[in-house]
């Protein structure tokens, strides 16, 4: 689990280092065909980052072995206080502070969009005590059946798209946030979002995956784990990579740059949705890849373990570092094929932004966490 969390942190930063190469202009902007390729490659490689975090949390916390109140108290102290501190930091650092603090009454600050994760994981923590009695007794065959059901729901975004006939069809909700125009399936309607598969989609599937690995794959050899995981990862990557790249290419029609409002990028990102088949399969692949990696080494004790313990704080604060490095490299080297490194400008910028951000954030978070009494309240 420590190796998974350390790696997932880097994958998160790789995703966010890639975003400037397809998000821009009025909301969506890809400058060149090579930028489309590199964005699809790196973001597809890393898109399972958040699901991997959820699997790790489920593996360690689910089923719950405390009284509900004690469990929620422990999770709240670990999660909410650092979240509140960094929410204030982002509200002061980016945008208009007064409006940012108003936004915090109802949601995260959109200048720090990555903080959506905290709300989702708190929701799962609230759900865990409710499902724990069942999780203690569930058999392998039964749990596998639920996992297959969750896997099926990961194809629903593509089923909607197929029947709707327009991958870029979007509507705007009351908040002004673009949402895919929903083609109603299996009980859904304009007055009802809660169709047949509603309760089996989303991150609950990753919570069940963590439970399955803990209960039933403990004795699986690393060779067998890789034998299952590698084909899953390859299939998931192919779906995600080709899905994004083909959508951008269709929008461009051979003419770059291509762009529009943010709904266009949301359409491109359909194969990257956390509840889509490609990301689900890559998550399974990543988790099985890490199974069996040893934890008895000097490198693990001195590097991996401290970074793993600080991983939540790294997630919270990393955008401050990443925005700096992303802007720095774009100013130094330019963008697209006209950059100083030609067609290599984009991949070098993405990788260097991710690596530099990761190293600085890791050092910062580990050092802050070691501050007596105060550190754990800042970075968890």
Mean pLDDT of 210-222: 87
Residues 6+ apart with CB under 8 A from 294: 300
Q: How confident is the model at residue 166 (pLDDT cuts 50, 70, 90)?
A: low
Give the pLDDT confidence score for residue 170 in this predicted structure.
Answer: 47
Number of domains in the chain: 1
Q: How confident is the model at residue 39 (pLDDT cuts 50, 70, 90)?
A: very high
Residues 6+ apart with CB under 8 A from 287: 4, 52, 55, 209, 213, 229
Q: How confident is the model at residue 172 (pLDDT cuts 50, 70, 90)?
A: very low
Mean pLDDT of 36-56: 95
Give the pLDDT confidence score for residue 175 in this predicted structure.
Answer: 46
pLDDT, tens digit (0-9, with 9 covering 90-100), for 277-334 = 999 999 999 999 988 776 678 888 889 899 999 999 999 999 999 999 999 999 988 8
Residue pointed to by tokens 């202009």: 25
Give the pLDDT confidence score for residue 34 in this predicted structure.
Answer: 92
Measured between alpha carbons, how far is 290 from 230 in angstroms, rounded to an integer?
11
Residue pointed to by tokens 């890490």: 290
Measured between alpha carbons, how far is 183 from 144 in angstroms, rounded to an integer?
29
Helix pair 49-61, 116-137: axis angle to 10 deg: 40
Stated pTM of the model? 0.91
Give the pLDDT confidence score for residue 286 in this predicted structure.
Answer: 93
Mean pLDDT of 84-95: 91
Give the pLDDT confidence score for residue 180 in this predicted structure.
Answer: 55
Give the pLDDT confidence score for residue 262 in this predicted structure.
Answer: 83
Range of the domain at 144: 2-379
Give the pLDDT confidence score for residue 171 in this predicted structure.
Answer: 47
Give the pLDDT confidence score for residue 369 in this predicted structure.
Answer: 92
**3-state SS string for the chain:** CHHHHHHHHHHHHHHHHHHHHCCCCCEEEECCHHHHHHHHHHHHHHCCHHHHHHHHHHHHHCCCCCCHHHHHHHHHHHHHHHHHHHHHHHHHHCCCHHHHHHHCCCCCCHHHHHHHHHHHHHHHHHHHHHHHHHHHHCCHHHHHHHHHHHHHHCCHHHHHHHHHCCCCCEEECCCCCEEECCCCCCCCECCECCCCCHHHCCCHHHHHHHHHHHHHCCCCCHHHHHHHHHHHHHHHHHHHHHHHHHHHHHHHCCCCCEEEEHHHHHHHCHHHCCCCHHHHHHHHHHHHHHCCCCCCCHHHHHHHHHHHHCHHHHHHHHHHHHHHHHHHHHHHHCCHHHCCCHHHHHHHHHHHHHHHHHHHHHHHHHHHHCCCCCHHHHHC
If one compares 16 and 219, the residue with the highest pLDDT of the two is: 16
Mean pLDDT of 194-212: 89
Give the pLDDT confidence score for residue 152 in this predicted structure.
Answer: 93
Give the pLDDT confidence score for residue 297 in this predicted structure.
Answer: 80
């Amino acid at each position: 689990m420590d190796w998974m969390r350390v790696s997932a942190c880097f994958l998160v930063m790789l995703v966010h280092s890639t975003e400037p190469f397809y998000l821009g202009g009025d909301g969506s902007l890809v400058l060149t065909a090579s930028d489309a390729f590199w964005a699809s490659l790196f973001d597809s490689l890393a898109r399972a980052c958040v699901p991997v975090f959820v699997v790790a949390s489920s593996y360690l916390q689910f089923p719950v072995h405390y009284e509900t109140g004690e469990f929620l108290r422990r999770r709240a102290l670990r999660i909410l206080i650092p979240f509140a501190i960094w929410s204030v930091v982002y509200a002061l650092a980016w945008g208009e502070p007064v409006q940012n603090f108003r936004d915090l009454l109802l949601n995260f600050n959109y200048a720090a969009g990555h903080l959506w994760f905290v709300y989702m994981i708190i929701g799962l923590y609230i759900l865990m005590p409710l499902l724990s009695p069942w999780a203690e007794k569930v058999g392998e065959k039964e749990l596998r059946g639920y996992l297959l059901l969750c896997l099926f729901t990961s194809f629903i975004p593509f089923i909607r798209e197929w029947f709707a006939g327009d991958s870029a069809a979007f509507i705007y909700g009351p908040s002004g946030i673009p949402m895919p125009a929903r083609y109603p399936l299996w009980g859904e309607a304009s007055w009802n979002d809660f169709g047949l598969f509603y309760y089996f989609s989303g991150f609950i599937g990753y919570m069940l995956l963590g439970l399955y690995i803990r209960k039933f794959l403990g004795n699986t050899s690393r060779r067998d784990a890789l034998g299952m995981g590698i084909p899953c990862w390859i299939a998931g990557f192919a779906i995600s990579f080709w899905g994004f790249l083909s959508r951008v290419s269709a929008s461009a029609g051979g003419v770059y740059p291509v762009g529009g409002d943010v709904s266009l990028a949301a359409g491109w990102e359909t194969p990257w949705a956390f509840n889509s088949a490609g990301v689900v399969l890559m998550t399974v692949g990543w988790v099985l890849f890490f199974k069996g990696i040893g934890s008895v080494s000097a490198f693990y004790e001195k590097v991996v373990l401290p970074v793993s313990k600080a991983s939540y704080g790294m997630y919270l604060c990393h955008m401050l570092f990443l925005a700096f490095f992303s802007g720095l490299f774009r100013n130094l080297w330019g963008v697209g094929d006209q950059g100083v490194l030609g067609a290599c400008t984009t991949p070098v910028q993405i990788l260097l932004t991710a690596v530099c951000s990761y190293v600085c954030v890791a050092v910062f978070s580990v050092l802050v966490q070691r501050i007596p009494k105060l550190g754990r309240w800042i970075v968890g």
